[in-house]
Amino acid sequence: MQISRRALLGAGAAGAAVLAGCATGAQTQAPPQTASEQLAATLDRTVAAILRQSPERCTALGLTEERAGYRFIDKLSDASKDGARRYRAILQTAISELDAIDRSALSAQENVTVDVVKTSYEYSLATSAFEVGGGAGAPYAVTQLTGAYRNFPDFMDAQHPLRTRDEADGYMARLTEYVRALDQETAIIREDAAGGVIPPDFAIDRALEQMNAFTSTAPAQTVLVQTLVRRLPSVADIPESERAAYVAQAEAAVRDAIFPAYERQKAALAEVRRNAVHDAGIWRLPQGAEMYAAALRSRTTTTMSPDEIHDMGAELIRQFHSEMDAILRSQGMTRGSVAQRVQALSRRPDQLYPNTDEGRAQILADLNAQTRHIESLMPQAFNTLAQAQLEIRRVPATTEAGAPGGYYQRAALDGSRPGAYYINLRNTHEWPRFTLPTLNYHEGVPGHHWQISIQQESGSIPFIRSAMLGFSAFSEGWGLYAEQLADELGVYADDPLGRLGYLQSATFRASRLVVDTGMHHKRWSREQAIASMVEATGDQESSVTTEIERYAVWPGQACSYMVGRQAINRMRDGARAALGGRFDLKGFHDTMLANGAVPLSVLERIVNDWAETQSA
């Protein structure tokens, strides 16, 4: 997909006009800007400033140097606290400039853009005001889920392009940059610990396990070297005689610079581990309650209190259990609690894939077949159809121990890389057959891949919104709504156990509301949270443990899913009640996705405006 610089910066030629006016000297003066031009120029400047601070984002989006405005292929972001402060300053400047615009002179769509951008930046500033780790929503710099060690190897393998000699040279430069980023995070580990911010003991232990797995591998066998071995033969302007030198240079960088940086970070973690506690919630941290409140507001884009969210989750669990009980009874499974019967079903041989490479390959094949089927149903629910291709991949073995069950990686804007979602296949028995379809619909179609692809392919959403902003309550809420929509489209008509898996997934997300607020607000222990989720879902304790440990280091994030889904359902019900027979499900879905990811408060206004237009 080709994108002009005008579309990239989402704003037109206003920025260029300003520069032209400056270039003519004091004798000429640029004409006054309209409100629309002011908005355009502000978005231009903000995007350019953020991209300059985010080289990895430029790569992930598939931007050219011209579009990004600088050479980024050989750089990594500044991971220090000073880097975070510079980023906050960009957001603060953007908000001030947006506040100076006469909004009465903007179009309705432009006002949506102002609301979306301002809300995003205000939430970001509120969470990052707590200068620890990644802010209130990720307060620890390095854990089993956070830190450069966790993201960089897979980023280089899956997203750094290797098509030219220049990109290969950029790859080598980024290996050097990686050492700097690791050391910056190591400094933050010690600085935060001095202020009383230390991850729970289990989060440190999992991080050390993953780091040890990386450093115990021979340098030549690490993914940072093997990706060159695999991909350099396709680089036309690097002859075969020179490939070995690149591989040798990368191997030396891993052995002589990267491994020592890992050892320094491991030493810092081991040092703070001596003072770590087992409490999972951030209530124990300085300003912990305030941090959790900020994280919840940012993640859910609502003002719901922890107690309200907790009670919502408990009520939904009761509702879903009732439906699950009916299905289990229809299958002749009547003894024990709902969770116990689901556990028994999960252990049945007919529901288990072999825990072998062949079994993992079969899971991926089945997921791809399910994807092709659900894609064929999309014209029933949407007028606008996503174009980007989807790949389903295994979570890398080097990080699967601490990784979540599944996650999505958006397609490159230029079409050079398809969308992909990753499934954690460390143990295939964690994925009984009846649980797989709903994961597919959440991460793929009509879930994250569908929603994000339509957002990126839109010609009307400014780049700053289509590619650079995200709202967890919207995107994860849509992912959960997508699971529900698949059910409504009849995918489980002849598959009652598949529908049981869908209800179990919904119960799982409702349980998240209970355990996240339980740990961070009600001061539950890690073990209490694990027991609560196992009882609610019937999932295996090993899988639940990974989830609970995730929520411990990403406070509030797990609440965004079900809060978002319930908000979307409430909006749909409201529009249906207002429109009666005029309600059009395709139109509702197109309206939901046409504006990209937005805060729930903005989404409600968009849906209400659509309903008013339809009724007229």
Helix H, strand E, coil C: the string for 503-560 is: HHHHHHHHHHHHHHHHHHCCCCCHHHHHHHHHHHHCCCHHHHHHHHHHHHHCCCHHHH
- φ, ψ (nearest 5 deg) of residue 420: -150, 140
Length of the chain: 616
- Spell 406-445 as b/e; 16+ CB within 10 A means b: bebbbbbbeeebebbbbbbbbebbbbbbbbbbbbbbbbbb
Beta bridge partners of 390: 419
The answer to whether 112 touches 602, Cβ cutoff 8 Å, is yes
Mean pLDDT per 10-residue section of the chain, whose length is 616 residues: 31 30 44 90 97 96 94 98 97 98 96 96 97 96 97 95 97 98 98 98 97 97 97 95 97 98 98 98 98 97 97 98 98 96 95 96 96 97 95 87 81 84 93 95 96 89 89 96 98 97 97 98 98 93 93 97 98 96 96 93 95 91
- What is the largest distance, in Å, between two alpha-carbon atoms of the chain? 88
Q: Can you give the pLDDT at residue 24?
A: 36
The domain boundary, picked from 82, 114, 136, lies at 136
First to last CA, the chain: 36
Q: Can you give the pLDDT at residue 80?
A: 97
- Tell me whether residue 172 is in a domain: no
The answer to whether 367 touches 392, Cβ cutoff 8 Å, is yes
- Tell me whether residue 399 is in a domain: yes
Q: Which long-range contacts (CB under 8 A, 24 or more apart) does 362-366 make?
A: 363/423, 363/425, 363/428, 363/431, 363/436, 364/392, 364/393, 364/394, 364/423, 366/433, 366/436
- Tell me whether residue 211 is in a domain: no
CB atoms within 10 A of CB 273: 17
CB atoms within 10 A of CB 99: 10
Burial class (CB in 10 A: 0-12, 13-18, 19+), 219: middle
Burial class (CB in 10 A: 0-12, 13-18, 19+), 585: middle
CB atoms within 10 A of CB 356: 10
Residue 461 backbone class (left: φ over 0; alpha: ψ -120 to 50; beta: rest) = beta
Give the global pTM: 0.87
- Tell me whether residue 572 is in a domain: no
- Tell me whether residue 200 is in a domain: no
- State how far the Cα of 514 lies from the Cα of 426, in Å rounded to an integer: 27
The answer to whether 513 touches 562, Cβ cutoff 8 Å, is yes
Q: Can you give the pLDDT at residue 14?
A: 30
- State how far the Cα of 593 lies from the Cα of 596, in Å rounded to an integer: 5
- Retrieve residue 31's tokens: 């004409």
- Tell me whether residue 493 is in a domain: yes
Closest CA to 392 of 429, 456, 440: 440
The domain boundary, picked from 136, 160, 187, lies at 136
Strand order in the sheet with 419-423: 390-394, 419-423, 406-409
Give the count of domains, the chain.
Answer: 2
The answer to whether 160 touches 56, Cβ cutoff 8 Å, is no
Residue 371: give the domain boundaries: 290-567
DSSP character string of 575-597 = HHHHHGGG--HHHHHHHHHHT-S
Closest CA to 616 of 588, 582, 590: 582
CB atoms within 10 A of CB 392: 22
- State how far the Cα of 50 lies from the Cα of 28, in Å rounded to an integer: 31
Closest CA to 138 of 127, 150, 148: 127
Beta bridge partners of 406: 423
- State how far the Cα of 472 lies from the Cα of 516, in Å rounded to an integer: 15
Question: Could you tell me the CA-to-CA distances from 519 to 31, 87, 93, 551 in Å, in that order?
Answer: 57, 30, 36, 9
Burial class (CB in 10 A: 0-12, 13-18, 19+), 226: middle
Burial class (CB in 10 A: 0-12, 13-18, 19+), 572: middle
The answer to whether 425 touches 395, Cβ cutoff 8 Å, is yes
Q: Can you give the pLDDT at residue 519?
A: 98
Question: Could you tell me the CA-to-CA distances from 350 to 111, 125, 373, 524 in Å, in that order?
Answer: 54, 50, 22, 37
- State how far the Cα of 131 lies from the Cα of 139, in Å rounded to an integer: 8
- Tell me whether residue 526 is in a domain: yes
- State how far the Cα of 207 lies from the Cα of 350, in Å rounded to an integer: 35
- Tell me whether residue 36 is in a domain: yes
Question: Could you tell me the CA-to-CA distances from 387 to 372, 456, 577 in Å, in that order?
Answer: 13, 10, 32
Beta bridge partners of 392: 421
Beta bridge partners of 421: 392, 408
- Spell 487-505 as b/e; 16+ CB within 10 A means b: bebebbeeeebbbbbbbbb
Q: Can you give the pLDDT at residue 25?
A: 40
